[in-house]
Amino acid sequence: MAKLLIWIVIILGVMLVARMVTHRNARERSAPPPRPERDAGSGTAHSMVRCEHCQIYLPRAEAFMSQGKTWCSAEHARLGLKK
Ligand SMILES: [Zn+2]
């Protein structure tokens, strides 16, 4: 009886794998080509800001805002303006 159960499990496993493979092939054929990711919303995501401490430019989306100024990191915001 145990042997029969093992065979049933094996057959079900093979069927599952076969289904997954055919499903993936069908999806790959019908899938549209991947679109390049675009930033949602306005063009402000690409505007560059400058770190007030080390003067490097970085995207506004990655900038750290503090005291009305932009910084490249929390560390530089803490250090403040370079003396
Ligand atoms: Zn900096």
pLDDT in tens, 10-24: 999 999 999 999 888
C-alpha of residue 81 to centroid of ligand 1, in Å: 10
C-alpha of residue 38 to centroid of ligand 1, in Å: 26
pLDDT tens-place string over residues 70-81:
999 999 999 988
pLDDT tens-place string over residues 25-64:
887 777 766 766 655 555 445 789 999 999 999 999 999 9
C-alpha of residue 82 to centroid of ligand 1, in Å: 10
Quick one: DSSP state of residue 5?
H
Question: Please, are residues 52 and 71 in contact by the beta-carbon 8 Å criterion?
Answer: yes
Q: Which residues surround ligand 1, an ion (CB under 5 A)?
A: 51, 53-54, 72, 76
pLDDT of residue 80: 86
Question: Strand 69-71 to strand 57-59: parallel, antiparallel, or no bridges (unpaired)?
Answer: unpaired
Neighbouring C-beta atoms of residue 53, cutoff 10 Å = 19
Phi/psi of residue 23, nearest 5 degrees: -65, -45
pLDDT of residue 63: 94
pLDDT of residue 28: 74
